[in-house]
Structure 1
Amino acid sequence: MDAGSLGALLVVAALAGWVDAVVGGGGLLMLPALLVAGVPVATALGTNKVAAIAGTATAAVTYARRVPVDWVVVGPAAGLAVVTAGVGAALAGVVPASAYRPVVLVVLVLVAVFVVVRPGWGLVARPQRRTRGRVVAAVLVAGVGVAAYDGLIGPGTGTFLVVVFTVVVGADFVRGSAMAKVVNAGTNVGALVVFGVMGHVWWWLGAALAVCNVAGAVVGARMALRRGSGFVRVVLVTVVLVLVARLGFEQWVAG
């Protein structure tokens, strides 16, 4: 890899860390950049996890110092996520993207509609939603459903987790993002172990990207904490729309 390509990847890694720390979706930037640089698909997925785990872990610590994290929810979810994301990573080369892309598209469109119809969603916490049944539901959806998706493909995982924690258990966007980072770190660990065992990780490149990803994550987390839920909501809407556009292009244009 030439110096120009490496430099571009390092810049993208920092931007991806910022996006991931605010609301998730850094893979939207990182994965295409790796593919454009000539990294094979499976190796791009695995190498991205090296950078992503460093960034999400850093963001999780940054948030936890300022925002109380609901460990009753995120603890079990993160534990499940390690295993489920690993299974998803093992199936990454077996399950075709066409099998899950339409489902993800429908979910994203529903999220976009929900955000537009409910402009106050996520701006303030709704603790009355945190019933025992909803806690169990959040753990299963985040630790199994979203984690499996992360192992399979990844982009938008943090966004899905924020949506789960705000909709299901009534967290505001800032706390939901903090909770998402903990679970996302678990999904990254599970997927990285499998990709590493399968030989789909360029460790030297992943380490370099991780340094820049951490820098972006620190800036993003601090900005989200300083600006609050309204700022996170704007970034969330932007990421969801970009995800819809990208997956729609892959489904109907790129083929």
Structure 2
Amino acid sequence: MLLAAASAGLVDAIVGGGGMITVPALFGLFPNAAPATLLGTNKATAIAGTAWSAWQYGRRVRLPSLRLLWAFGATMAGSATGAWLSTQVPSQHFRAVLPGVLAAVWLYTLWRKDLGQHHLPHWSAPVETLLATLIGLVIGLYDGIFGPGTGSFFIFAMVRGLGWDFLHASAAAKRLNLATNAAALAFYIPHGHVAWALAIPAALANIAGSSVGTRLALKHGAQFVRTVFLVVVGLLICKTGYDGWFRP
């Protein structure tokens, strides 16, 4: 589990998608545990690495913090609403559609070779704030209902919608992922759905992996993040496609 947590931290720090490593590992290693406890433990593990990565990015990548503050709040509201909706809407609907959405994102990124290579915000401050807030609300809602690929969706939305490069988008995604994880833990912790004896050492491993991933992203820049993004989203397509279309 510690190896899975460290690997997830490395991947998540660059482009998101760490959950596709830790969630299957938790369910595979602890098949008799309650699913809610495994998901809560995953969130407690992930938020540590995400917070560490967000701090490291914040030291090197300049972001419009005040504009993202509204997006942060909208993400938390969306995630909390989505968590409630998850009790009303069967997740099978998302499982069937998600691989197609991810495939469209992957193909568009592959086709637009210049996408996210240069940091060229093209909106005024009020418009960018509004768009970032809408991105946070919509993807936060999705994360609360279902979740897989949330970090990758944040990055793609900011690259395509705001004109940011992959490095700035990845840095911002870490802050918004903090909001989704915090909103989820606000439910899991009071209900006793975090196995702290496992979550604490896994969180430390996640921080170690996150530190390596963040340094790689900062060192190699937007092109490196774009390449890893394509690899991770490709793996997510395979994983979610199998879960949604073939797994009973």
Partner Cα separation in structure 2 for residue 77 and residue 181 of structure 1? 12
Q: Is the 8 A contact 1:24 1:158 kept in 2?
A: yes
- Counterpart in the other structure of 2:177: 184
- 1:146 aligns with 139
Aligned AA (2:218): L
User: 1:184-235 CA deviation, whole Å, 9 max, x = no partner?
Assistant: 0011000111122233221221111110001111111111000111110111
Q: CA deviation at 1:132?
A: 3.8
- Whole-angstrom CA distance in 1 between matches of 2:237 and 2:225: 18
Name the residue aligned to 1:121. 115
User: Is the contact between residue 67 and residue 128 of structure 2 (CA under 8 Å) also seen in structure 1?
Assistant: no
SS, match of residue 128 in structure 1: coil
Unaligned runs of 5+ in 2: none
CA distance in 2, matches of 1:13, 1:212: 6
2:92 corresponds in structure 1 to 98
Matched, 1:35 2:27: yes
Deviation at 1:88, TM superposition (A): 2.5
Structure 1 runs not aligned, ≥5 long: 1-8
Tell me if structure 1 keeps the 8 A contact 2:166–2:222: yes
Distance 1:131 1:64 in 2: 20
The aligned counterpart of 2:241 is 248
1:78 match: 72
The alpha-carbon deviation at position 137 of structure 1 amounts to: 2.4
Q: Is the 8 Å Cα contact of residues 58 and 217 (structure 1) preserved in structure 2? A: yes
* C-alpha separation in 1, matches of 2:163 and 2:51: 23
Report what 1:6 is aligned to.
Answer: none
* Partner residue, 2:11: 19
- Cα offset for 1:134? 4.7
Q: State how far apart, in whole Å, the 2-side matches of 1:68 and 1:184 are.
A: 18
Q: How does 1:96-245 map to 2 (within 5 A)?
A: 96-129=90-123, 132-141=126-135, 143-245=136-238
Bigger shift: 22-31 or 64-73?
A: 64-73
Query: Displacement, 1:49?
Result: 0.6
Deviations 1:2-36 (A, max 9, x none): xxxxxxx0010001001110010000100000000
**Paired residues, what number?**
246
TM-score for both structures, normalised by structure 2: 0.93
Aligned 8 A contact 2:14 2:213 in 1? yes
Cα deviations across residues 50-101 of structure 1 (Å, max 9, x unaligned)? 0111111100000010000122432111112223222323444543221222
What's the RMSD between the two structures over aligned residues? 1.7
Report the alpha carbon displacement of residue 130 of structure 1 after superposing the two structures with TM.
5.4
